[in-house]
């Protein structure tokens, strides 16, 4: 339960990074919400990797490169799910504010991410 709580804290910070970068891009550049989200997602992914590695799960027994690859694989899959939901919501509900679509899509991807990170990325190998 402690790891889930810490994961939610790290995810909340990642959400703030994601939403903040998206908001700044929409307000201060000609970039729209779809391209903006393609930029904000990697920013949030990097922030959550650092937090989950050092605060939530601890470092894995794998090399930094292997851990990073695994984290990126789960993160990219989660991000694609998140982005697909975000885009679908905005396309089916054109009057929906992007921040609302971001919130709903991020919430839906959270369970997938926690399972993937805890089981595939940061699970410590047992000594045989």
The rounded distance, in Å, linking the Cα atoms of 52 and 66 is 15
The rounded distance, in Å, linking the Cα atoms of 67 and 121 is 6
What pLDDT band is residue 114 in, cutting at 50, 70 and 90? Answer: very high
Domain residue limits, the chain: 13-56+64-118
Q: What are phi and psi of 51, to 5 degrees?
A: -70, -45
Give the per-residue pLDDT at 60.
87
Question: b/e per residue, 61-83, with b = 16+ CB within 10 A?
Answer: ebeeeebeebbbebbeebbeebb
Tokens linked to 39: 């930029």
pLDDT of residue 126 exceeding 60, the answer is no
pLDDT of residue 28 exceeding 80, the answer is yes
Supply the DSSP symbol for 126: P
Instruction: Give residue-wise pLDDT tens across range 66-104.
Output: 988 999 899 989 989 988 999 999 999 999 999 899 889
* Percentage of the chain exceeding pLDDT 90: 64
Average pLDDT of 32-50?
A: 91
Instruction: Give residue-wise pLDDT tens across range 46-72.
Output: 999 999 999 999 888 888 899 889 998
pLDDT of residue 125 exceeding 70, the answer is no
């Amino acid at each position: 339960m402690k790891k889930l709580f810490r994961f939610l804290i790290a995810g909340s910070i990642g959400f703030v990074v994601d939403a903040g970068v998206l908001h700044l891009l929409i307000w201060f550049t000609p970039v729209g919400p779809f391209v903006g989200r393609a930029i904000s997602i990697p920013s949030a992914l990097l922030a959550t990797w650092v937090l989950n590695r050092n605060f939530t799960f601890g470092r894995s027994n794998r090399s930094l490169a292997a851990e990073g690859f695994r984290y990126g694989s789960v993160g990219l899959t989660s991000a694609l799910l998140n982005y697909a939901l975000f885009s679908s919501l905005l396309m089916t509900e054109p009057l929906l504010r992007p921040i609302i679509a971001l919130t709903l899509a991020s919430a839906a991807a959270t369970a997938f991410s926690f399972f993937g990170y805890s089981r595939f990325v940061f699970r410590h190998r047992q000594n045989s």
